[in-house]
Each structure stands twice: as C-alpha cells, then as structure tokens.
Structure 1
Amino acid sequence: MSPHFAFPAFTNSIMELPRMSLWAIWSFLLVSSIHFPCFFGSAAHFSNETDLLALLKFKHLITDDPLHSLSSWNHTLHFCHWQGVTCGGPRHPQRVMALNLTAQKLVGPISPYIANLTFLRRIDLSANSFYGKIPEEIGWLFRLRYLVLTNNTFTGEIPANLTHCFKLQALDLSRNQLTGRIPTELGSLSKLTFLGLRRNSLTGSIPPSLGNLSSLRYLRLSQNSLEGSIPDDLCQLVRLKFLIIGMNKLSEHAMGGKASTQGDVYSYGILLLEMITGKGPTDDMFKDNLSLHHFAKMALAERVMEIVDPQLLLEEAEAIQGNENQINTRNRMHDCLISIVKIGVLCSAESPRKRMQMRDVVVEMHTIKDLYLGVMIHQDKQVRSQILDESLSYLRHY
C-alpha cells in the first residue's frame, strides 16, 4: 500500500483549480495542512510525529532482525536515540538527518514511507538482505546527498526519478540484482561525485548523458551485461579519477578508439584494497586528501594488519584454530595479506606510469597464491583463496 504523500496531492489539486479565488486557495492550503502535517505542519510535534511514524513503518516491513538492531525502535526511547538514526542540526534538532544500518543482517523490503523523512541527507543500508524494488518515493527526498544500498538483493530497474534528489553526491547501488538500462536521467545529477552500479544485471549501453556529470570522480559499472562502446562523452569528465567498466559486453575499443589497460590496472588495485580493508573509496574517513590508496600506502611499512577488515581477521583466527603450527601459519597468511596490499597500492598509483603492467599483476598474484597458500591446510586455503580466486577471475577478463 503506497503512503499518502501530500506534495503530489497538493500539486495535482492546484492544477485543477486555476480560476479559484485567493480565499479559496488559502482555504485549500489550510485544509491540506490539517490532513498532511508532514509537509505543511509547522508545529514541532507534527514534524516529530511524522518522522516517528515513518521509522515505525520502516521497521514494520523488516521480517528478520537477528542482531536485534531495531530493538530500541519503540516508544520508550525518543527516536533520535534509536540505533542507526541520527537527528540533526541547530535549526531542526529533532528531525532525522541520517539512517545508517549497514551490516546489520536485516531482511525485508524498504518501506516507501521512508520518503516522509523529508530532512534525510544520508541513507546507508549496505551489507544487509533488503529485497524488492528500490522505492520510487525516495525520489522525493530532495535534501538527500548520499544513497548507499550496496550488497543487498534489490531487483527491478533503477528508479529514474532518483534524479529528483538533485543534491545527490554519492549513489552506490552495487552488488544487487538490478536489471534494465542505466537511466539516462542520471546525467542531470550535477553534484554527483560517485556513481557505483557494479555487480548487477544491467543491460543496454552506457548512456552518453553520464558525460554531463561534471563533478564525477568515481564511475563503477563493471560486472554487468552492458553492450556497445564507451561513449566519447565520458571524455568530458575532467575530474574523473576512477573508472571501472570491465566484465561487461562492451566493444574492445575505448574512448578515442584506443583500449586502455592502465585504467583497468587502477580499478583492479582499488578492488584489492577494498577486499582487504573492507572500505570503499567513498568511506566517511576518506576526506581532506586522504584516499583509500594513501590509507593503504601509509600502512605498508609496519601497520598493514591494522587496516585489514576485522571480519577477515576473525575468519583467519577461526580457520587456524587448533592447527599445530598455528604461529607459522598465521605468519604466512599475514605475509600473503601484505603482498596483496602492496600490489593494490602499486596498481592504484595516481600516475599511470607508476602502475604495474597487467601481465605482471597476473604473475604476482599467481605467485602469491602458490607461495602462501600452497602449503597450508585446507581450512586455511579457503580464507585467502576466496579473495585470490575472485581477483584472478577479474584478471582473466583482460
């Protein structure tokens, strides 16, 4: 059942009343404000009640919450103190500004009532099991700046009206089951710096309109079923630093008629660093000239293990538990991680001249797999072999 939104109702009704008197229009607005407090109510309790009800509607559609992440979402605690909810600024201290429920193992669809959280600036629901279609109603969140829905099981097409969120800076829908074409309308998001659509089932060609994204720095379209050539319009993206388009059905010739492997090497390096650290290029910590590349590079000397994804270390500890030669095995696995991080850093160097050649990357990765995993017990192999197999599979497409 779709939520009752006031804004569409207001615009439709006003179009039907072009000859109404000023008094009649004022009466209409007054009545509307009574029925739709979420858009027209000025009293604080109306606004707070709207956010509260929207959050409860969101929780109502969650079918599984194994970590009890939403257990605090009840009337005994103000919603601004609920887990994953952040309320904001001095002007609107009790309006929801951010919804961050990443990696909580939540299952269910997203309630369309999320659109009633009209002050939302950030939504991060990554690494859960949300399913169904991405609600088109999100397009009414005109204050939204970050929409991150990665690593879920969303289906259907990308809603074209997400472009109504004209302040969007990051849109990441990677690692889902989205189908259909990339909406040409995305080219109107002039503030977008990150667009991630990789590992879906998208078809069709890359829209030339993406060349209008003048602020874009990261474009990730790999591992889909995109066809055709790379539009020359992408050459207009003068701020673009990271382009990953591999593992599609694109023609061999890239922009300008020449295939470039240096961009692929860079993308692969970032992929390695993401898998090891568990962090993406748009992570909150990467600002003020700190990037994923520099983060890993600074840790290379003595602190590599400090930047490794804790979940990865936990899997390692479980794998080698009870092994008679546990210390030696751990040291070998640490050496494996350090070697992979080194390759990731070399491949993601800002200057193309300083990056490794793809053929050398292939040789190095196979060497790492043979040296560090070849003599380990089966359980130990699984922990790192999954990473190496995925990365080597990526390389086989070049």
Structure 2
Amino acid sequence: MESSCMDVRIWSVFMLLFPLMIITLASSYPRENEVDRLSLLAFKSEIVSDALGILSSWNDTSNLCGEWQGITCGRRHQRVTGLDLQSSQLNGTLSSRIGNLSFLRTLNLRNNSFAATIPQAIGRLSRLQRLDIGDNSFQGISGSVYWGVLDQPEERIVAVKVLNLQSSRASRSFISECEVLKNIRHRNLVRLLTACSSIDFQGNEFKALVFEFMLDGNLDEWLHYSSQRVVGPPIVELHLNLLQRVNIAIDIASALDYLHNHFHVPIVHCDLKPSNVLLEKDMTARVCDFGLATFLPDTSCPVPSVQYPSNSMRGTVGYIAPEYGMGSAVSTHGDVYSYGILLLEMLTGTRPTDDMFRDDKNLHNFVLMALPERVKEICDPVLLQEKENCTSTNPASNRNDVQYDETQRIEECLVSIARIGVACSVHMPKARMEIGKVVAELRVIRDVLTGTRIPKEHMITA
C-alpha cells in the first residue's frame, strides 16, 4: 500500500513537471541552431539578386530546418548539414559567416555569380565532405579567378586564373608565370597544374592558368580579418596565433631561399605581400603570383628572361624595395626587403600603407623605435592573448632544473622576430639579412616558443 502511494506521488510530480519540461525543450531547440540561422541570414544579406526567389523562405517567421529552401538538417541535433543552392541564379558576395556552419557536410553553390575573394572561413568547415563552388569568380588586377572541379584523373578542386588580356601587363604576366612555375618544385610554392593559351568561341585570345585550390584563402585575409567582418559581433573569431605566424613566416622564407639560392638560376619574385601567400587547410603557406618574377642573368645557364620596361612597377606600394624607386636593377635583396615588411606586418597587425605612416614614418622605423623594451606595445594584441597555443609538449622543458617563465619566453620571441624584420628591411640592400639565415633564426625562435629549446641564459642547473 505504501509503495502504491509512493508511485502515485511520483506520477503526480511528473505530471506537474511535464509541461515545464516541454516548454524548456521547446525553448532550447531554437537556441541549438541559432548560430546556423544567423549565419545563413548573414549569407542572405550579401545577395543582391535572387531571380528565382530561392531565399524568400529564409526569414524569422519560418522554420529553418523545415521550410528554408536548399537547407538540409540533421535529424537528431537539428543543425544544418547541407546547403544546396546549385543553379539558383544568385548574385552577390559569398559571406565569410558561412564558416560558422560547424555541422555542414555538403556545400553546393555551383552556377551562381558570387564575386568575392575566397572566404578563408570555408577552410574552417572541419566536417565538410563535399564542396562544389565551381563557375563562380572573384575579380583580380590582371583577370578573374574561377573555382572549379576537375574530374580526371581524380576529383579535385582547382582555381582557374583567366587573364584580362586588355591589361598591358597580362601577356607578360602569363609568360613569366609559365616560365617560372613549369620548372620550380617546392612545398611552399603554389603548384601550377596546367596552362591554356587559345582562342575562345568569339574568336578572342584566351589565356588561363590552373592552380591547386587553397581552402584557407590568403594571409592578408587572416591578418586583417577584423576589418572584413560583417556588422555586429562575430560568432567565430578567426585569427592566427603566434606559433602559426612563426610557422607561416618560416614557410615563406623557405620558399624565397629556394628561389634565390637552390634553383639552378636565381629567381626574384618581385611582388611578395600577404595577399600573394596562400594557406592550405593545415595552415601551410604557399607563395603565389609570379606575374612579375624575373630570372637573374646567368651566362653559364641560359634561361628565357622576361624583360620589363625600366619604368615599370616592380611590386606593390608599401612592399617595394626603396632602391627600385631609384631605378636599381631587380635583385634578391628586393625580395628580402618585401619579406621584412611582411614579417613586421605579421608581428604588428598593421599594414605598411596605414594612415599612421606619413612623411618619413614607415613600418620599419615604427618597429625599430620600439626595440627592445616596447615591442610588446606595438604587437598585434592577439599574439599576447593565446599563450596556451605555445605551451610546451616537450617534457625536457618542464624539468625542475629549468626555470623559464612562459610570458618571458613569448616576449623574447616577439623581440627576436622584430629584430629579424628590421634587419631584412634596412635601407641599404647589401646590409639586409640573408634569407637562408632568416630561415635558421626563425626555426630557433619556433623551438624556443614550443619549449623544445631553452636559451642558455635561462638554464639553471641543480
């Protein structure tokens, strides 16, 4: 009898709480896919033309997983797993907020008109199994780059650079890239798959280059992502921590070292800058855009050399070596200067063309004046916030006979990076640090940063 009364009381309590449980579950369901909903609405806000009205169902009053066209959701967690807008006649910009769709497995945007830089956010879709964004483009200085999928011999995503032949430098750029990329092989240089020079259906000359597709966009997008965010607080922060930046700096310097010192004829890139550094999904850096590249004269090994007018621009404002402005010949020292400015930009998060640099002020002097005591003040704040990314995994660095403060280690690494950047970007070409030494010094900094190497001055034996 007592057990029966207990069962009745339990059942009564359950019946009283059941409506509250239903209300709680109902109210928590929208919050589960709120990130997806806001990300898709941000995607919609960048579309300027929706001829078929596909996105008209995307609104606050309809059910995301049941009524929004082109959307597939998982049954259990009700998160967006598929986005299929193929041939929807959409015209606009591909929003970077698409990278917040963390459960997305398939993304099909083929046959639309998205004109934008490649959003590095796509590379953060870790669950993505199928990506098809072919036949979309973004505009460049010398042409357009299209995303596509090659089916043979195996399916792969490629970037097709179609040159704008009305540009005076397009033909020279095409020849230069073909001459350089058909010969070089290095893990930190973008790989040219094939080139095409023909006549299109209208009888016009057509030239194109087909490259490997880099999902994580370019370095410039990562360094200055905050200026490209949509209005409102971002859902996902995308930035590079200190260790990632050091690894990228090593990759870029290794590519230059190969071009300058280990290819049978020295090659000068002539346009090194963050937007010409592409990132793979594992954050490996690859230098691209050899449209201005030049073979240095070598009588012992004749190679076709692309000649440029004496008054042509050898690079991009902010990264051009000062001697080029005075008519000096192209040299590897010019690349080293560009690299030094790029390295200082990675350190400070400040472009060399920032409004703060006027008259005689420049990024080189800005960092030089801060050495060594005030380097922390001019660094990108992100580099001082993520100490956990530089935590040592080497047991030797945690021994009792080693007393080395992690904060001090990071600050010393920042000073060392600043010194290298300044040494590479000094005014006199021959006084600049040799790129091979840059690679060696940065590798030491990486070892110190990860704790696999401890500077002698910080070793305290028992």
Q: TM-score, normalised by structure 1?
A: 0.40
Q: TM-score, normalised by structure 2?
A: 0.35
Higher RCO by CA contacts (8 Å cutoff, separation 6 or greater): 2
